[in-house]
């Protein structure tokens, strides 16, 4: 089974031309992000991903996890791999130096995170959640909490979790029942949480849970939710793990995929109450959590890109080695990569992956621009831009991961259905991505409701203007064919947006019924835009090799001919509205059964 090899060349090119990393490096806070530094980080991260994490992927999937009372034992090799992660300072790349971070751009950490997720998604979920916890605490916690917890979380010595979901509270967090009782300088937390990723494990000396709960006098609904920091071990006077807190794992979920990642049912307060500390203000917990949730949604979109890359590499290796049949134009049997249908599948996998990578890096770069303090106007523009692109990245990139990993199985033929070949694991692991951090239906409604309708398409129109400028640049450079195709796609996208804006007031079901189609049109258009930008950039970048340029052009050609036309079907369906979707009454769903 082939191990993962980080696509460092494409990552470096995408950081440079899609994310604008060199422009970010001109900002005072990112001056250490030199070309040499970026290359060194990518090369070393790629080495660790390929040599340390990737070999544990299949074995971790097969071995899974062991629960022994209140302890969870991870798969063989996971602890050692995590220790290497800590020793390399990999969890600190994008965080503030005052808490032990390296102060590098967020988007650079995203490229590194892609490697972890591609090499071993089960393992990679642990640092992903920890970095989200750091973001939430850095944004909302008191100085005292930041001082006590951020250095350990940023170093990776301690890990973090996000505790939202309960048995009766999934997407609807307004019905959360976990309680928080004031008790002096802290609170006593009691309740149960489910689906808590890496809620218990043996890789770090302490686990910091961020828990949503209600105060006794809290108003009903989401306006009455507060956020609390609940450590597994209470720090002692020296800041080291001390007394065990009143929180523990009850059970582990048995899942379709990510078998080596503990998904926990967590219980708080079985023996009087788990000690927790308020993060932010009372009854403002959801707002405090949104920083973590929004960046986590970008990270989940990145996971879609990462698992797609892994599936693509696996399929290419197999198709180059598997001899089966004589392809057209050849006199003898040879590798299946010669066959037209196999090349169609592989190019679909590669084109979707490279488009998704470019879109994700670009969106994450807007997080960096929105955080800089040199240009307030640019800061505000990028905040809107990042907000608009977040549901597209999360939704579209995780949907493409379903297609790419499924094609990976198909390329293997019957062997793909056999676990030993490894292709099935990527397919299974990818299936969680459209579900967690807000299902893709929620992402679609967010895109339509909050990002299109709420500001009357102001952010959407700004992005269209940016894409139109890039189309003009492509035309000026002589690429009239791709430019014209993308211009037509953008016009189709605008027609979809106009339809929604015109009909949403009279059709309250519209966002839910057609939002997924708008999200997919948005993704395909933005993916084409990113690939066109890259082709244009190849023309002027003297550092890019001729084979790389040729490959990028062929990928772009394929995308524009074979993938971009998909938008028409989504657009036509979208403009039918919600009537057919909402036609069935509740009683009719079982008609014809029994």
Which residue has tokens 């203000």?
281
Domains: count for the chain: 2
Does a structural domain hold residue 293?
Answer: no
* Element counts in the chain: helices (H) and strands (E): 18, 12
Domain boundary at 283, 311, 330, which?
Answer: 283
Strands 233-235 and 186-197: unpaired
Choose the final residue of a domain: 283, 304, 326.
Answer: 283
The domain boundary, picked from 257, 283, 309, lies at: 283
- List the domain range (segments joined by +) for residue 465: 440-581
CB 208 within 8 A of CB 292: no
Kindly state whether residue 43 falls inside one of the protein's structural domains.
Answer: no
**Domain assignment present for 418:** no
Determine the pLDDT at residue 1. 66
Residue 252 near residue 264, CB atoms below 8 Å: yes
Q: Is the pTM of the predicted complex or chain greater than 0.95?
A: yes
In a domain? residue 164:
yes
Q: How far is CA 336 from CA 327, 342, 417, in A?
A: 8, 7, 17
CA dist 313 and 101 (Å) reads 33
CA 155, 157, 161 angle in degrees (round to 5)? 95
Residuewise pLDDT in 10s, the chain (594 residues): 679 999 999 999 999 999 999 999 999 999 999 999 999 999 999 999 999 999 999 999 999 999 999 999 999 999 999 999 999 999 999 999 999 999 999 999 999 999 999 999 999 999 999 999 999 999 999 999 999 999 999 999 999 999 999 999 888 888 999 999 999 999 999 999 999 999 999 999 999 999 999 999 999 999 999 999 999 999 999 999 999 999 999 999 999 999 999 999 999 999 999 999 999 999 999 888 877 788 899 999 999 999 999 999 999 999 999 999 898 999 899 999 999 999 999 999 999 999 999 999 999 999 999 998 788 999 999 999 999 999 999 999 999 999 999 999 999 999 999 999 999 999 999 999 999 999 999 999 999 999 999 999 999 999 999 999 999 999 999 999 999 999 999 999 999 999 999 999 999 999 999 999 999 999 999 999 999 999 999 999 999 999 999 999 999 999 999 999 999 999 999 999 999 999 999 889 988 786
Q: Is 437 noted as a catalytic residue in this protein?
A: yes
Q: Which residues pair with 277 in a beta bridge?
A: 229
Q: How far apart are CA 145 and CA 140, in angstroms?
A: 10
Joined tokens for residue 313: 């590499």
55: Cβ contacts below 8 Å, ≥ 6 apart = 3, 77
- Report residue 170 as tokens: 């999934």
User: What pLDDT is recorded for position 144?
Assistant: 97
Three-class secondary structure of residue 571 per DSSP: helix
For residue 146, the domain's CATH number is: 2.40.110.20
The structure tokens listed for 537 are 């950039």
| Torsion sign across C-alpha atoms 377, 380, 386, 387 | negative
125-144-97 Cα angle (round to 5): 60
Task: Flag whether 391 is in a domain.
Answer: no
The contacts found for 485-489 with CB under 8 angstroms, 24 or more apart, are 485/528, 485/560, 485/564, 486/525, 486/528, 486/529, 486/532, 486/560, 486/564, 489/524, 489/525, 489/528, 489/564, 489/567
Take residue 482 and report the two structure tokens written for it: 């791709």
Answer whether residue 296 is part of any domain: no
Catalytic residue among 166, 437, 543, 550: 437
Rounded CA gap, 485 and 488, in Å?
A: 5
- pLDDT of 594 reads 66
Q: Is 392 helix (H, G, I), strand (E, B) or coil?
A: helix
* Strand stretches in 344-411, DSSP E: none
Whether 465 maps to a domain, the answer reads yes
């Amino acid at each position: 089974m082939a191990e993962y090899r980080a696509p460092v060349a494409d990552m470096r090119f995408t950081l440079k031309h899609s994310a604008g990393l060199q422009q970010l490096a001109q900002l005072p806070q990112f001056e250490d992000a030199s070309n040499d530094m970026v290359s060194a980080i990518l090369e070393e991260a790629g080495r660790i991903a390929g040599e340390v994490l990737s070999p544990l992927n299949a074995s971790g999937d097969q071995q899974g996890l062991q629960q022994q009372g209140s302890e969870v034992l991870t798969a063989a090799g996971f602890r050692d791999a995590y220790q290497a992660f800590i020793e390399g300072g990999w969890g600190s790349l994008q965080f503030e130096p005052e808490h032990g971070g390296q102060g590098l751009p967020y988007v650079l950490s995203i490229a590194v995170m892609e490697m972890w997720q591609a090499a071993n998604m089960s393992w990679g979920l642990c640092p992903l959640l920890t970095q989200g916890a750091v973001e939430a605490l850095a944004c909302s916690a008191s100085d005292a909490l930041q001082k006590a917890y951020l250095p350990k979380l940023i170093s990776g010595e301690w890990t973090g979790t996000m505790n939202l979901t309960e048995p009766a509270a999934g997407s609807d967090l307004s019905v959360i029942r976990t309680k928080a009782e004031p008790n002096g300088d802290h609170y006593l937390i009691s309740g149960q949480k489910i689906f808590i990723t890496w809620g218990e494990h043996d890789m770090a000396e302490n686990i910091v849970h961020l828990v949503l709960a209600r105060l006794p006098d809290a108003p009903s609904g989401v306006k009455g939710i507060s956020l609390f920091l609940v450590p597994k071990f209470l720090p002692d006077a020296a800041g080291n793990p001390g007394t065990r807190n009143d929180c523990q794992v009850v059970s582990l979920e048995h899942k379709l995929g990510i078998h080596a990642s503990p998904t926990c049912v967590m219980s708080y307060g079985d023996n009087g109450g788990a000690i927790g500390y308020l993060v932010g203000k009372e009854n403002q917990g959801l707002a405090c959590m949104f920083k973590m949730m929004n960046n986590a949604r970008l990270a989940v979109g990145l996971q879609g890109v990462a698992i797609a890359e892994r599936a693509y590499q696996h399929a290419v290796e197999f198709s180059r080695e598997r001899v089966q049949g004589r392809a057209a134009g050849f006199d003898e049997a040879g590798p299946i990569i010669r066959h037209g249908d196999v090349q169609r599948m592989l190019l679909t996998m590669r084109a979707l992956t490279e488009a998704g990578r470019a879109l994700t890096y670009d969106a994450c770069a807007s997080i960096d621009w929105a955080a800089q303090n040199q240009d307030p106007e640019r800061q505000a523009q990028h905040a809107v831009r990042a907000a608009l692109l977040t549901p597209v990245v999360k939704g579209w990139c995780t949907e493409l991961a379903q297609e790419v990993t499924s094609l990976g199985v198909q390329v293997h033929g019957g062997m793909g259905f056999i676990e030993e070949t490894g292709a099935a694991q990527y397919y299974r692991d990818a299936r969680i991505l459209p579900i967690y951090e807000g299902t893709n239906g929620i992402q679609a409604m967010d895109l339509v409701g909050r990002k299109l309708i709420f500001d009357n398409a102001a952010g959407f129109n700004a992005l269209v203007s940016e894409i139109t400028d890039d189309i003009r640049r492509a035309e000026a450079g002589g690429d009239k064919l791709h430019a014209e195709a993308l211009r037509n796609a953008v016009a189709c996208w605008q027609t979809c947006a106009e339809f929604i804006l015109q009909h949403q007031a009279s059709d309250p079901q519209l966002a839910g019924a057609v939002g997924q189609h708008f999200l997919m049109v948005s993704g395909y258009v933005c993916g084409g835009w990113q690939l066109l930008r890259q082709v244009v950039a190849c023309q002027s970048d003297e550092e890019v090799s001729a084979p790389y340029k040729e490959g990028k052009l062929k990928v772009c050609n394929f995308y524009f001919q074979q993938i971009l036309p998909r938008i028409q079907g989504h657009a036509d369906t979208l403009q039918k509205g919600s009537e057919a979707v909402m036609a069935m009454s509740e009683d009719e769903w079982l008609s014809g059964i029994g």
